[in-house]
Chains A and B, each alone.
Chain A
């Protein structure tokens, strides 16, 4: 049973370009979460999605960032017009049900490391 799959593992972009990060949750999981991790820092929550719905995007920057989790296919985190400050590791996690049900952990992928030149 494959875990959470993220790709690309490493992405290099120049300032002003777009970055697209993909996340395929574990089989049977319908809830996806995106986190950002800067070097030497903790995990910062960005967005929580279920299939075709954004449930909580309180951690998402208001501009240039967007996320989706379509009915078919992986969840996508999209960063438009990247700046150097966007350089970070972006982790995706999934769960089989809402964590609000207090029923368990988040299963994390290995992360996508974005470098903006």
Chain B
């Protein structure tokens, strides 16, 4: 079936820098996406969501961008902190699918 996938398995950033995590999807009918954060040894937690009628949505230090033309979304984390170190998944809830995940490591 169609699924959501991630471009990069790992990402290392310096503390204080901005992080960008990318995600591609294949189902052009997908209209709702969620980003989750999974810390080591824990279950995934909701970060932010976006619907297809939006191109951008902002939260606290996080921004999600959606490009429906190329079926791509990204999660931007501003001023990355050590506590942001985790695996980040994009998910398309309608199909229950999660991407492989990007492991973000913040270097102090």
Interface residues of A (CB under 8 A from B): 4, 33, 35, 41-45, 48, 56, 58-59, 91, 93, 99-100, 102, 104-111
Contacts and interface: CB of A to CB of B under 8 A. Distances in A.
Contacts, number: 56
Contact of B94 (A35, A59, A93, A99): A99
B2 to A, nearest CB: 13
A106 B100 contact: no
Closest 5 CB pairs of A and B: A108-B43, A45-B96, A99-B93, A105-B46, A42-B100
Contact of A111 (B31, B43, B46, B51): B43
B44 A91 contact: yes
A111 B41 CA distance: 8
Interface string B66-100: 00000000000000000000000101011011111
